[in-house]
Amino acid sequence: MIPRLAVLGSPVGHSRSPALHRAAYRELGLDWRYDAIEVPEGTLAGFVGALAPEWRGLSLTMPLKREILPLIDDLDRIAQLTNAVNTVLVGTHHAQRTLSGFNTDVPGLVRALGESGVTHATHVTILGAGATGASALAAAAELGAETVDVVVRTPAKATTLVELGHQLGLLVTVSTLRSIDAPGRVSDLVISTLPGGTVLDVQFPSTLRASALLFDVAYSPWPSALAESWSHAGGRVASGLGLLLHQALIQVRIFVAGDPFAPLPREVAVLAAMRAAL
């Protein structure tokens, strides 16, 4: 029986996760199957309930990172903190199936930002207040941020991130997307968690775009409209492929050993194979 894994979401056809994971398992000598499966919002419980015994794990993308929560038996610390799960380890206990939930987006984002030269940021701006926005806020805390401005269309949707900021010891303010062009806006790092293809009506000040790194978690289509505006101002831009790569490596650790902190055998070679698959 070949172990099965998959990334679930909607839309999911553009996902690079199958290429990343398949490269990792080839390098590890594991004959495992990893697919991309369209699972629309509202249908996840039915899909999970029908999992056959060969299933070992799931990667979750939008819009399922919070829909999975009621189905999980135990959560890791970061998943509890952010109230978001992007990785599920399927196991058994006393002949009963168990689901363990993890959030690998936070350490994945910290690693990806480090590769882009950002190991510390005092003032951070986050676009979007969904599950990935919560992970970006936790990553900002790990980078030593003092203040974070969460930018959203509807301020009420950022309430949970303000509360999370209090838990993390961060001063979180909330702005609307219409106000991002305000002169004097200051930020060391801008993280966009907006869906790929989003086009904003206004732009950040050119001085900010020229000085702060934009980390856009989107990678398809690329470049995003926001990334193009950043490049036109002479600023630095990083796409979400770095996040995808590093969070996937931690997912592989979980699927192979059940532990996000346990390095893989020949992990350097595994990461190189995954990077080449991008």
Residue-level pLDDT at 145: 97
Are 13 and 121 within one domain? no
Omega cis (within 30) before 260: no
Q: Active-site residue 65, yes or no?
A: yes
Q: State yes or no: pLDDT of 90 exceeds 90.
A: yes
Q: Give pLDDT tens digits for 11-63.
A: 998 899 999 999 999 999 999 999 999 999 999 999 999 999 999 999 999 89
Start-to-end CA distance of the chain, whole Å, equals: 28
Does 183 reside within a domain?
yes
Does 182 reside within a domain?
yes
Are 142 and 57 within one domain? no
CATH number of 37's domain: 3.40.50.10860
What predicted TM-score, i.e. pTM, was given to this entire model? 0.95
Of the candidates 118, 140, 132, 125, the residue with the CA atom closest to the CA atom of residue 82? 132
Residue-level pLDDT at 49: 95
Are 99 and 126 within one domain? no
Range of the domain at 79: 4-104+245-277
Are 135 and 162 within one domain? yes
CATH number of 144's domain: 3.40.50.720
Does 19 reside within a domain?
yes
CA distance 61 to 5: 14
Considering 56, 65, 111, 253, which one is annotated as catalytic? 65
Confidence of residue 220 (pLDDT cuts 50, 70, 90): confident
Are 162 and 80 within one domain? no
Does 240 reside within a domain?
no
Domain endpoint, select from 235, 253, 269: 235
Number of domains comprising the chain = 2
Confidence of residue 217 (pLDDT cuts 50, 70, 90): very high
Q: Is 141 exposed, middle or buried (0-12, 13-18, 19+ CB in 10 A)?
A: buried
Are 44 and 79 within one domain? yes
Are 122 and 214 within one domain? yes
Which amino acid is it at 132?
A: T
Of the candidates 71, 65, 104, the residue with the CA atom closest to the CA atom of residue 85? 65
What's phi and psi for 173, nearest 5 deg?
Answer: -110, 165
